[in-house]
């Protein structure tokens, strides 16, 4: 594939490398950053928080939010972004889907936001089943923002953040694959052995809706930053 792959020693080095690329994009006029949650971008956000860069002229648009969680819920992606980035580095405007929003209204509102602020650089993690955002295997590549039913694998992977598996929301608002592909540049990170198979399938497998991240093979400006463990099946 034509994706640019960078292998780092670990996630700390990966976060530093990602930060360099974010800085470079901002210096070449990126005004809208697409942001991701999960443990993967934490090292990048740490670098951003520690930097002298001012983000207050930039727009941020997050990929997804759990359906049914209020913004102030400890496990909401609103709270995650507040804690990991925005409390130290406020943006001019930050958009995240409203987990309590009416399904149809929220989907429309979010698609309009993405249309109004085309994403210059989209940050992505990847699920162990190769989902991106919350686009699970089987999601149409043509989807824009929608409500996604989470798979058992994803609920299982995310239950570590909740008191029990029953507390993990079963649905999420997510940008679609089509929304993600509309970004000018994409920067995907993956760290750890548990991501090795998804990384392999994304880079080298057939392009199929069963492997959501495989569609990135068709985008012409994707950089993938992985650590040695995530690269172990390449």
Q: Which stretches of the chain bind ligand GLP, using CB under 6 A?
A: 36-40, 63-64, 125-127, 133-134, 154, 158
152 is catalytic: no
Respond yes or no: is residue 129 known to be catalytic.
yes
DSSP per-residue letters across 110-128? HHHHHHHS--SEEEE---T
Which CB, 80 or 91, lies closer to ligand GLP?
Answer: 80
78 annotated active-site = no
Which residue among the candidates 84, 129, 135, 158 is catalytic per the annotation?
A: 129
CA distance linking residue 177 with residue 170, whole number of Å: 20
Q: Which CB atom, from 63 or from 231, has the smaller least distance to ligand GLP?
A: 63
Closest approach of Cβ 125 to ligand GLP, in Å?
3
Q: Which is nearer to ligand GLP, 47 or 64 (CB)?
A: 64
Q: Shortest Cβ contact with ligand GLP: which residue?
A: 125
Residue 105 CB, nearest distance to ligand GLP (Å)? Answer: 22
Pairing of strands 146-149, 121-124: unpaired
Residue 27 annotated in active site: no
Spatial distance between the Cα atoms of 1 and 109, rounded to a whole number of angstroms = 34
> How far are the Cα atoms of 7, 36, 233 from residue 48, in angstroms, in the given order?
20, 14, 30
Closer to ligand GLP at the Cβ: 29 or 166? 166
Within 8 A by CB and 6+ apart from 5, the residues are: 203, 223, 224, 226, 231, 234
Q: How far is the CB of 195 from ligand GLP (least distance, A)?
A: 7
224 phi, psi to nearest 5 deg = -115, 120
Q: Point out the residues that are catalytic.
A: 64, 129, 131, 136
């Amino acid at each position: 594939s034509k994706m640019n792959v960078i292998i780092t020693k670990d996630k700390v080095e990966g976060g530093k490398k990602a930060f360099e690329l974010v800085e470079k994009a901002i210096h070449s006029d990126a005004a809208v950053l697409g942001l991701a949650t999960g443990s993967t971008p934490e090292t990048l956000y740490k670098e951003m928080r520690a930097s002298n860069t001012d983000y207050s002229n930039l727009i941020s648009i997050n990929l997804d939010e759990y359906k049914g969680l209020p913004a102030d819920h400890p496990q909401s992606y609103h709270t995650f972004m507040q804690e990991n980035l925005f409390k130290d580095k406020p943006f001019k405007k930050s958009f995240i889907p409203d987990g309590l929003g009416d399904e149809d209204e929220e989907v429309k509102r979010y698609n309009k936001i993405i249309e109004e602020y085309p994403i210059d650089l989209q940050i992505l993690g990847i699920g162990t089943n190769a989902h991106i955002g919350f686009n699970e295997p089987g999601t149409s590549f043509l989807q824009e923002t929608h409500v996604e039913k989470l798979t058992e694998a994803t609920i299982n992977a995310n239950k570590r953040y909740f008191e029990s598996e029953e507390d993990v929301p079963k649905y999420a608002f997510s940008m679609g694959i089509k929304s993600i592909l509309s970004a000018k540049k994409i920067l995907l990170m993956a760290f750890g052995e548990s991501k090795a198979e998804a990384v392999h399938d994304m880079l080298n497998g057939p392009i199929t809706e069963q492997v959501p991240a495989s569609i990135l093979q068709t985008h012409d400006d994707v950089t993938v930053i992985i650590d040695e463990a995530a690269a172990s099946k390449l």
